[in-house]
Chains A and B, each alone.
Chain A
C-alpha cells in the first residue's frame, strides 16, 4: 500500500474480506502471514496494538461493533483515544480523564464532519444512521490513523451522507493516509479506488489498476468457481 492511495477490496460476501480486516486489526489471531508498515514488520496482538501502529477499522456493523448505543457521542468518540498509548497522553490529567480535552476533540469532529446532534452528551442511539456512522468515523479519526480500513462504509445510510463519506475518504487520502475500502458494490469500488484487489474464498485472486479494471473482468474473478 502506498501513502495517499485508496485501495478497493472487492469480493462477494463470504470471500474473507472482513476476516482479513479483523486479523489486521488484532481482533482475531493471525494464522499465517505478517504485517508490514513502512516496510517494517509490526506485531499486532490486540486492537490497542493496531491503533498504536496507526491502523483504524470502521466495522461494517456499527450497531454491534462500532458504537456504544447507551453512551454519549462524546464517550463514544473518546473510548479509543483513552485506550491507546499513541494518543492517550493528550486526554489525561493525572489519572483522570481530561474532560476539557475530550469535549474539545468531540466538538471539533462534530463541526468537521457536520454530525447532527443536539449536544455532545446525546446518546448515540437517538442519532440517525448516517450520523452514527459519522460518530464512528470521528472516533477513529481522533486516533490519527495512517491506515484506515472502511468495511462497507456506505451500507444503510442515506445518499447525502454517502457522498460526504466518499469526499472524506478522498480528502484523507490527499492528506497522506492510506485507505482500504471493503465493499460489495462494484460501481462504488471502481469509482473511488486507485487500485482494486479481488478476494475469493479467503484468498486474493486478482489485482487491477484503476484504468484496467472493468466490471466484467472483476466479476469473472469473483465467480471463477462457478465457471470451472
Chain B
C-alpha cells in the first residue's frame, strides 16, 4: 500500500494569474485544494506610517498608489476624512466633478478587472477590448491632472482645478497617417465634457459587445458558475463589501445607503446577485458599469449648465490663486504658511468611507491638532476579501483558485499598503 500524502504547492509570488505579488501556499489532495494560505506583504510600503511624517496634503499622492487601479476613489476617501475633521464644505461643482471621476474610475477598474479576469480564465481577447476603452478614460484623467494614473487631483477642499476646455490632440507621425488619427482627433475636438459625452454614448454598445463574448459563453460559464459560492451569512461574517457582498444577494451600497457628495441627487440602480458565485459577481460588476455610465451622463449634463468654483475659498485649507497670491499680502501669507507648514486639522478622529469599485474603502484618521496625521488607518476592501480565500477555495480544483482570485478583484497596492 503506497503512502498517501497531501501535496503543498507554492502559487506565486510571480504567477501571472496572481494579480500582482500574491504568494499562496496551497495544500492539495490530488487536484483539490484542502487549504490555502495567502502570504501577503511583498508590496508593503508602510503608507500609514509614512503619512504620519508627511503633512496632510503631501499624503494625497500616496493614496493613488494604494489601489493603483482606482486612483481617484482612494483620494476621495482621504480628502473627505480631512474635510470632515476640518468641518469645511466643498463647492457643489467640485462635488459633481468628484462623483463624475469616481464613476470614471469605477469603469476603469471594472474594465481592467473584466479584461484580466478573462485572461486568467482563458478569454484572451477581452483584455484587448477593455484596454481600448480604458485608453479614452485615462485620457480624461490626463486632461484634468496631467497624469494618466496617479492623478492627485482631489485635494482637501475640492479638486485641483476646473475641467479643461480642450483635449490634447494626436499628431501625425511616421507610424500614423493623418487619415488614421482623424477619428481620434474628431472625438477630441471639443472640451473634456464633449469627449466624455461621446464616450458615454458609445459605451453601452461596447458593453453589449463584451457581454456577447462572455455572458452566455459556455466555457466562461463552466469556469465561473458555482465557483467560490459565498452565502449572505458568510459574506457578513467575512466582512465583505461592494460587489462581493452584492453578489451574495445583499443590497448594500454606500452611495445609496449612506450617500456622500451628490449621490443622493443622482438616479441609478444597484445590481444584486442571487447565488453568490463568481458568475453572479461578474454580472453585478458588468451592470455596475452600465449604472456608472448613467451617473456619468447625469454629471456631464449638470456640469455643462452650472459653472462655479471647484475649490473651497477657505485659504487656511486651500491655497489661494496665483494671481491673488502675488497681489495681496494676506494671500501671500496664506500661501507661505500652506506651503511650509501645511494645514492644521483640529484634534479628533473620523472614519470616512466611500463606495470604492472593490468595496468599502475607508480612512480612519486620528488627529492631535498637528500639521500631520497622528494615525492613519486604511481599510482596504481587497485585504478583507483576500482573507476569505481559504474559505472560498477549499474543496475546489486548483484551476478554480485562479477564477476566485479573479472574481475577488484583488490589487496588491491596497492589500499590502
A and B: bona fide binding partners: no
Chain B residues packing against A (C-beta within 8 Å):
none
